[in-house]
Structure 1
């Protein structure tokens, strides 16, 4: 081999070796990321439902007789007690009707007394064959008619007395009465609009609409003893404050609304301070729990691709691997992982946009 040929070969080998060293020196450094270990935690969370305050019981005050309003015995919006007088309707014609009915009863009783005497006398004569049988039969029929007339007169007294009683309207329950829809002198009659409404307000309730897929959950809560004596049901007011009393599940409606696919559920709340008013809006928070520790990770660690969810897991040699996960309930900043991860694995939470499959990272574990 010629000397210059050997020299060229050595130069080429030296150049190749230098390029390999340069490539090693230019390898990208690990990407700094933040990561956490997958742990199990208490998966308690709250579902929120739009809620409307409603009365557990309210009664419309309807007139049962016709007449003019002669008295109003309450202040609009005040608390009323069951049996408290609320309205009076002009009773003069009904009092006159009662007096007339009593007078008619007295007349019918007098007729009955006379018919009874005639029947007794004719029956005595009939035993002596001293009178025609037809006369006796007529007397008996007259007696029976008089008895029926007395019964009819007594029934008429009950009817007109009932009408007289209806001229005074009393509160049907303890609660709060609304703004009167009539004033003194107004003419009212059966079938006319309600005079007012009395609503029970302690306890009071909120109504929510539950999707049919969630009905079983509320049925289970209803069947549990003491299920709602804690904070299972809490009410968030429209201003964002939390109502201080917890609620109890009172009613689940009988059927799902076919138009909306939802079922109405009613939750009762103590209302001693009358802070809750019918018609108010808020949000009902319903506490739920998986009843067992669950794998949870920060939700920010999750990336979504074509409706599937993935996380980057830091493995051996600080290389990351993308894993598909199945998520459960989101709980504040965390999310339950149903499958795809194991306890103790390390997942990237910050810096996922800077890494890719197989890349090396320098993880700061929080």
Structure 2
């Protein structure tokens, strides 16, 4: 190979290497493609949501069945857990001793009435003899005193009859109200007595029932306003969530706001009435009371999935000019299903990223793949 040819070959190799090196530099200078994301426009809407409070189902009226006389249970006239009506016969207590006492009291009253009749005749006769000066004054006074004493004995006998008649009446126990009766605490033959401890049974009025909640004292103005409103609920202001997370079919209405705050807990009891025509609610159930809270005016609403949390602060990515994203800090309000109220940090009409937030960072260029106005 001649010296000239060698120089030409070397020059060609340098040109080739220079061409290859320039291609790599061009690739490094090319910008990455924009990140595909979904976005929506920030809009305003009616912000209606529900606050939840733990509640317990209670009866507006509940009566413990207590014996008023001593004796043995001789009859039970209901099935445990059944619905009973006012005046329905429930229990009977052995009445024999009370019936005997009543018969004796009646007999004693008849004796006292006979004594009164005799004393009245004696007093009348002595009064006639006194007018004729045919009897001493002392005899007349004694007769009148005896008459008065006999009258008092008749009155005492009548009062005794009322007492023993009442005891006899109490040997049969009747339902004091309409409602559901519980499981009997006594069986046939059991000895019972007044003040003996556990009641024989308990009856609860079952329609309507109430959901009792303990509210913080800061909530008092809200519930007082609901109590004073014309409707007092009865629409969808008060809803119940049952233990199986199903929503109860009937809305409630506020019935009672207690008179005083518990100084130890700082809470106030509120009773919300709910119809119970199908006996779905049972006294003692633990449920959740949902209370509608409608923020006045239009509020900024965004999808909750657009929000990212960092160190207990909340941010969203806003799509700005040239399709570049900017991270903005926001102040959130109540969450409403899949949306959340934004109190500060955004303006109506701004475009925020809803899907793909984990793939973008401050200043990144994005490509919106959906129609933001249709979501």
Q: Matched residues in 1 for 2:366 and 2:135: separation?
A: 130
Q: Name the residue aligned to 2:69.
A: 65
1:345 correspondence with 2:359: no
Quote how far apart the aligned CAs of 1:305 are. Answer: 4.6
Spell out the pairing of 1:154-193 with structure 2 (5 A cutoff).
154-192=158-196, 193=198
Q: Matched residues in 2 for 1:26 and 1:256: separation?
A: 70
Q: Matched residues in 1 for 2:245 and 2:331: separation?
A: 33
1:51 correspondence with 2:55: yes
**Alignment deviations for residues 176-225 of structure 1 (CA, whole Å, 9 cap, x no partner):** 22221111111111012211112222223333332332233222222222
- TM-score, normalization: structure 2? 0.82
Deviates more, 1:261-270 or 1:162-171: 261-270
Quote how far apart the aligned CAs of 1:81 are. Answer: 1.5
Spell out the pairing of 1:80-99 with structure 2 (5 A cutoff).
80-99=84-103
1:311 correspondence with 2:321: no
Question: Given the alignment, which residue of 100, 103, 112 partners 2:107?
Answer: 103
Question: Given the alignment, which residue of 247, 262, 271 partners 2:267?
Answer: 262
Q: Name the residue aligned to 2:257.
A: 252
Q: Matched residues in 2 for 1:49 and 1:332: separation?
A: 17
1:334 correspondence with 2:333: no
Q: Matched residues in 2 for 1:158 and 1:358: separation?
A: 96
1:199 correspondence with 2:166: no
Unaligned runs of 5+ in 2: 1-21
1:115 correspondence with 2:104: no
Unaligned runs of 5+ in 1: 1-17
- TM-score, normalization: structure 1? 0.84
**Alignment deviations for residues 342-363 of structure 1 (CA, whole Å, 9 cap, x no partner):** 2112223334445555554444
**Alignment deviations for residues 29-71 of structure 1 (CA, whole Å, 9 cap, x no partner):** 5554433211011211122223333323221111100011111
Quote how far apart the aligned CAs of 1:238 are. Answer: 2.1
Q: Matched residues in 2 for 1:262 and 1:23: separation?
A: 69
Question: Given the alignment, which residue of 265, 278, 294 partners 1:273?
Answer: 278
Q: Matched residues in 2 for 1:23 and 1:186: separation?
A: 98
Question: Given the alignment, which residue of 276, 281, 301 partners 1:296?
Answer: 301
Q: Secondary structure at the match of 1:292?
A: strand
Q: Name the residue aligned to 2:15.
A: none
Equivalent pairs, count: 347
Quote how far apart the aligned CAs of 1:294 are. Answer: 1.2
Quote how far apart the aligned CAs of 1:128 are. Answer: 4.4
Quote how far apart the aligned CAs of 1:243 are. Answer: 2.3
Q: CA RMSD in A?
A: 2.7
Q: Secondary structure at the match of 2:233?
A: coil
Q: Matched residues in 1 for 2:131 and 2:44: separation?
A: 106
1:42 correspondence with 2:46: yes
Q: Matched residues in 1 for 2:51 and 2:154: separation?
A: 68
1:138 correspondence with 2:180: no
